[in-house]
Each structure stands twice: as structure tokens, then as C-alpha cells.
Amino acid sequence: MEPVRPDTAGRGVPSAPEPVPERRVENPGPGSTVSVTEMKRVAREEAEAGRLGVALDLYRKAIEATEHHGRPPDPLLHVRMGDIHHRLGHERMAVAAYGRAADGYRSDERAANAVAVWKRVLRMFPEHVWVHRELADLHLEQDLVAEARRHALAYVEAADERGEPGLAVEVLEAFLELEDDDEVAAVLRAYRALQREKMLVRDEAEVDGATAPSAEIAPPAPEPSRPRPGRRARLRLPLRPEPATLRAAG
């Protein structure tokens, strides 16, 4: 029953309800005594209420507070930031946040979580074909050769479609350095044969004077793989950031 207060005529009228104070974490900095758990809870509530900018700022501060104490942040915080950036239409920032989450999971040796994050990126942004290379890496680490092959060949196909057959060859060679695979070897032989055929046609055209030799931009040189103790080397061709032809526009 609502409390009442008497009016001047002695009649009782309902009094106004007390306002419910908002539960906010006010500008917590890296040295704040506010717990990261509390920041995460409030950030989740803000995101559910549609206050995405506030939620994003709180997740960022939760990450900073964790790092301030010398601990790696929970990769899930980066996932949440990626989700918000996606809702806001910030594609590149979303992909970057998801990438940090996947790298965090990988560092924690939680490969299945990293795979789930990269598959999420592919569902949201299928034009980011370089993600197939990340998935090939992760599946090779888990000795899931069939899945690794599928993603490696998807990446190679995209490189070929974008006029980067040389890049496709290097990726296939890098894969075979890590895993002896008959299907990938057959694809590599086909690409090498195609390259030789194209070079022969070009040389014949130059001899006939039909066309001038065209300058070709070589793909970036691979960085030497640095295997981690007890773990498989990574398929590092090419490294992020990707060549412009294999990156999403915008």
C-alpha cells in the first residue's frame, strides 16, 4: 500500500514514490577499487539497455584495470567489445577486437575457443578470407588435418580469384612444411604447372613483340616460423595485416 500524506483538508493523497537510484560505475580508472567483476556486470546491463557507448567504455576500463595488475585480460571481454562494435557498424574495430580475443584464447591454449571466435568473424564478415588461414593454423595445432586443409584451400582459392597465384603457391608450400598432405601437394603441383604455363605464354608474347613485359609485385617474404615448445609451428604466410587484395574494403 502506498504511503499517504494529509492535505490541507485532512484528506489523504498518495505521496510520490521514491526514485530508484541508477546503479552505475562512475569512471573507473586502472587504479580504481571497483572490481572488474562489477564493471563487467554493469557493462552487460548497459549493453542490454542499448547504451552501447557506455558499455564499450566499461569493457575497455575492465581490460585496463586487469592489465594494471599485471594480468592478461579475459578474452571474453574482447569478444564483448567486438559484439558491440559490430552492433555499432564498426567493422574493422569489431574484427580487431575478435582477433585480440582469439589470440588471448590461443595464448591460454584454449584453441577451441579461438576457433569459435574466428568462425564467428567469418559468419559476420565472409569477405575477410584471411581468417581461413587463422583457422588452418589452429586446426593444425590440434592435428585436425582435414579441417586445416579445408581452410587452407579456401584461403588459396580466394588468393587465386584475386589474381595472387604466387601467394597461393607460398601458402601451399608453407602448409606442406607443417603437414605432409597428398591433396595439398596435388593442388600445389597444379598451381606450379599453371605458373609455368603462364610464364611460357608471357615469354612467347615478349619474343613475338606482342606485349611488353609487365612488372609483377612479388608477395611479401615469409617470416621464419618460430615453433613454441611442444607445439606445432604456425602457418605464417602471409602475416596480418594482409595484402590489400585479401583484405575487406571499408
Per-residue pLDDT of the chain (250 residues; tens, 9 = 90+): 455 555 545 455 445 444 433 444 444 554 444 688 899 999 999 999 999 999 999 999 999 988 888 888 999 999 999 999 999 999 999 999 999 999 999 999 999 999 999 999 999 999 999 999 899 989 988 889 899 999 999 998 888 888 777 778 888 888 888 888 898 888 888 888 877 777 776 666 666 655 444 444 344 444 434 333 344 445 544 434 444 444 443 3
* C-alpha span between 180 and 169 (Å, rounded): 15
At 149, list the grid cell.
Answer: 586443409
Gap between the Cα atoms of 31 and 47, Å rounded: 24
Angle at the Cα of 67 (from 61 to 68), degrees rounded to 5? 85
- Angle, alpha carbons 206-160-246 (nearest 5°): 115
Determine contact, residues 81/90, Cβ cutoff 8 Å: no
Most distant CA pair in the chain, distance: 112
User: Which CATH number is 33-128 given?
Assistant: 1.25.40.10
Could you tell me which of 169, 168, 172 has the C-alpha nearest to residue 184? 172
pTM reported for the whole predicted model: 0.66
> Where in the chain is CATH 1.25.40.10?
33-128
Q: At 191, which amino acid appears?
A: Y
The owner of cell 563487467 is 40
Contact status, residue 138 vs residue 190, Cβ threshold 8 Å: no
